[in-house]
Amino acid sequence: LAAGMRGSLDYLTHYRYECTEQTVSRFLPNVVTHRAAQQLNLDNADLSDNLPALVSEGLQRLYARQHIDGGWGWWSADKSNPFLSAYILLGMVEADRAGFSVEQNVVDDALDHLQKSLRKPKDVASNWQANQQAFILYVLAEAGEGDLGRSVALFDQREKLDIFGRAYLAMTFGLLEPDDNTRVNTLLSDITSEAIVSATGAHWEESQPDYYSMNTDTRSTAIVIAALSRLDPKNPLLPNAVRWLMSVRKADHWETTQEAAWAIIGLTDWMLASGELEGDYAWTVSLNGEKLDEGNVTPQTVEIVTEIRAGIEDLLAEEINRLLIERAPREGEDESAGRLYYTAHLEYYKPVAEVKALDRGIIVARQYTLNEETEEAISEAQVGDIITVKLTIIAPNDLHYVVIEDPFPAGTEGIDRSLATTSIVGERPEFERTDRKNYWGWGWWWFSHTEMRDEKAVLFATYLPRGTYQYTYQIRASLPGEYNVIPSLAQEMYFPEVFGRGDGGVFRITE
């Protein structure tokens, strides 16, 4: 299990973007894991050596992005978001516990912002509002500023909470009422009664999405694991929930930064509660009867990841391929202990010209022209030409936390200018916010952050109303050649099953 978390720690540490959520997710799970390793007397030299710089860099970025009201948005230009502000404060609280220096005035301003963000009981009307209230109350309790009165009021309205919101509230009462388990037991009973048990383990599914909390069923299951590990570590559902959570990784990590961060937090809590680090067994991996690798796991090596690769030439084209993973006592031993976790996946790549556009909730299309005024599409240019890129995005429904990546053809370079933006939706009401109460950023400029990187243009929108948008920027043809062009990709960052991609293609640059 400890080794299985390594891939996600690396995924978070080297994640390609640096919004406030991902800045915290980069260091928070590492801090939690480091503190657990210290408690278990484990030596993780790489983490110990690299963590100070990782935490310091993250904290400095967060200090610079804090708004005057004490909160943070997804990006600097976004309005303060109570959920994100609470998540950032949680990261600072955990960093402080691990011995890192955190500026107290930043923490104080964040505490003040969150306390002002708490809703009166009568104003907690929807599930996302109740979930947000539960998370803020939990973070305040972790920071030593718990609010028992509002926590009790939310407990009395717990039917409005999703499963992960009840888990947050249970952990809150675990901190505020350590000698009275009445409310904790009620909440845990509600949670465990909704577990879904199958051959792959136990997990939890929400009845409705909570876009504002970036939540998925995987994230909910991870948060429940954290709550049960802290409050009911002998619960029989826990081992099966851990098994399910490990089984839903995509390759060596979970699918989003929020899933990965909370999975690592939950699994670390489980390891502390269960002694999961006491591994003692031998293993063997074979493919189609041929041994690929073998090894031993001991308490001293549980954090070591073994990666095994097999080439396409090792696979059978016309028959079933058989991957065999065996676990047994080590040589000279009669018994084995500990769990073996593994993940197996197949990677393949299609020629980019064969990749066709795909719509899974977002439509994206790209066009190259030699002049901003002309509509004639091109697939060829000369060295030195300025090429206009017109990117069209169609959102059939309102979207949350959207990222759009548009790779450049190799042999071109982006021209670092502000992205020009126009709308081609006919009537103005299409662009007004659907809630009609928050006019932050009113108008057509919904993308609060853009990046012109060496290899692609990237746009981010915290909230994107349904409609059609066209974004224009320019690239310069630099090196002659014939180049594959990777398709444009648009997706909801925390709900990546909602996405769209454009066509792949070929672009030629001549002398």
Residue-wise pLDDT tens digits, 225-251? 999 999 999 999 999 999 999 999 887
What 3-state DSSP class applies to 166? helix
Among 46-55, 149-158, 410-419, name the most confident range. 149-158
| Closest among 100, 103, 150, 107 to 129, alpha carbons compared | 150
**Better pLDDT: 231 or 374:** 231
Flag the least confident range among 4-18, 285-299, 421-435: 421-435
Using CA atoms, how far apart are residues 95 and 28, in angstroms rounded to an integer? 7
Q: Provide mean pLDDT across the span 402-430.
A: 68
Position 425 scores a pLDDT of: 35
Specify the pLDDT at position 181.
96
Q: How far apart are CA 82 and CA 117, in angstroms?
A: 6
Contact indicator for 55, 103 with CB cutoff of 8 Å? no
Q: Please report the pLDDT score of residue 440 as a whole number.
A: 36
Confidence of residue 165 (pLDDT cuts 50, 70, 90): very high
Return d(Cα 476, Cα 411) in angstroms, integer: 9
Residue 431 has pLDDT above 70, yes or no: no
pLDDT for position 435 = 36
177-210 pLDDT, tens digit each = 999 999 999 999 999 999 999 999 999 999 999 9
Is 28:326 a contact under the CB 8 Å cutoff? no
Report the Cα 223 to chain-centroid distance in Å: 14
- What pLDDT was estimated at residue 4? 65
Instruction: Please give the order of strands across the beta sheet that includes 358-360.
Output: 358-360, 495-501, 489-492, 399-407, 456-464, 449-452
Quick one: pLDDT at residue 1?
64
Q: Is 488 helix (H, G, I), strand (E, B) or coil?
A: coil
Query: What per-residue confidence (pLDDT) applies to 225?
Result: 98
- Paired residues of 291 in beta bridges: 286
- In the predicted model, is pLDDT for residue 156 greater than 70? yes
Q: How much is the pLDDT for 277? A: 66
Choose between 6 and 454: higher pLDDT: 454
Buried b (16+ CB within 10 A) or exposed e, 331-350: eeeeebebbebeeeeeeeee
150 burial (CB, 10 Å; 0-12 / 13-18 / 19+) is buried
Is the predicted pLDDT of residue 292 greater than 50, yes or no?
A: yes
| Residue 375, Cβ density class (10 Å: 0-12 exposed, 13-18 middle, ≥19 buried) | exposed
pLDDT band at 460 (very low <50, low <70, confident <90, very high): very high
Q: Check whether 303 has a pLDDT greater than 60.
A: yes
Q: What is the pLDDT of residue 254?
A: 93
Cα–Cα distance measured from residue 427 to residue 440, given in angstroms and rounded to the nearest whole number: 20
Best mean pLDDT range from 122-136, 411-425, 461-475: 122-136
- Take residue 194 and report the two structure tokens written for it: 């909704």
What are the tens digits of pLDDT across the range 18-39?
999 999 999 999 999 888 878 7
Give pLDDT, residue 340: 83
> What pLDDT is stored for residue 348 in this prediction?
80
CA 397 to chain centre: 22
DSSP 182: H
Task: Give residue 445's pLDDT.
Answer: 67
pLDDT for 372: 67
Task: Give the pLDDT band of residue 68 (cuts 50, 70, 90).
Answer: very high
User: Mean pLDDT throughout 312-327?
Assistant: 91
Q: In terms of C-beta density within 10 A (0-12 exposed, 13-18 middle, 19 or more buried), how is residue 179 classed?
A: exposed
Predicted pLDDT at 448: 86
Span 58-85, average pLDDT: 97
| Amino acid of residue 188 | L
| The two three-digit tokens of residue 130, written as one number | 């109740």
DSSP reduced 3-state for 198: strand
**What span, in angstroms and rounded, lies between the C-alpha atoms of 464 and 470?**
13
Buried-exposed string 30-58: b where 16+ CB fall within 10 A, e elsewhere: bbbbbbbbeeeebebeebeeebeebbeeb
pLDDT at 374: 75
pLDDT of 484-505, one tens digit each?
999 999 999 999 999 999 999 9
Closest CA to 231 of 259, 262, 289, 272: 272
Q: Exposed, middle or buried by CB within 10 Å (0-12, 13-18, 19+), for 127?
A: buried
DSSP letters along 200-227, please?
A: TEEE---SS--GGGT--HHHHHHHHHHH
With helix as H, strand as E and coil as C, how does 373-421 read? Answer: CCCCCCCEEECCCEEEEEEEEEECCCEEEEEEEEECCCCEEECCCCCEE
Higher pLDDT residue, 69 or 427? 69
427 contacts 41 by C-beta, under 8 angstroms: no
Q: How far apart, in whole angstroms, are the C-alpha atoms of residue 403 and residue 485?
A: 19
pLDDT at 45: 73
Find the radius of gyration of the CA atoms of the chain: 25
pLDDT for residue 334: 82
